[in-house]
Amino acid sequence: MVYDYDVEVSSSSRRGLMCSIATLPCLLPLTHIFGSLRANANAMLPPGGDEYVRIKEELKKVLSKGKAAGVLRLVFHDAGTFEIDHDAGGMNGSIVYELERPENAGLKKSVKVLQKAKTQIDAIHPGPCFLW
């Protein structure tokens, strides 16, 4: 596939990039699972740092391709609660309190996956890892 800027991009690399972009950053706002994240510049991990690489490897172990779809669905359901008129809802982690609703059937498995990821990350780097 060729785009206007004359660079060919394979669909598999785009798919991998989309999974990385769409899944991992979206996991972090689930405050119930990851705890409260504070703005702490010292806790920010530099890209390519040793801890960053180890955390990324642990996430890859826990978040297989088969589980990524469920986690993405979890994020989508959480984000779908946004109300533009009231500037409320949205991707705020409240989905963990709404797992019993019929439209959220099957999302408990994804929450368990994220809890396992958090356990692995806490073993490497306790405390907040990211600055928002």
Active-site annotation holds for 77: yes
Q: How far apart are CA 82 and CA 92, in angstroms?
A: 9
Contact indicator for 23, 75 with CB cutoff of 8 Å: yes
What tokens were used for 2?
């060729």
Q: Which helix (H) or strand (E) holds 72?
A: helix 65-79
Catalytic residue among 32, 77, 86, 125: 77
Q: How far apart are CA 117 and CA 125, in angstroms?
A: 12
Residues belonging to the active site = 77
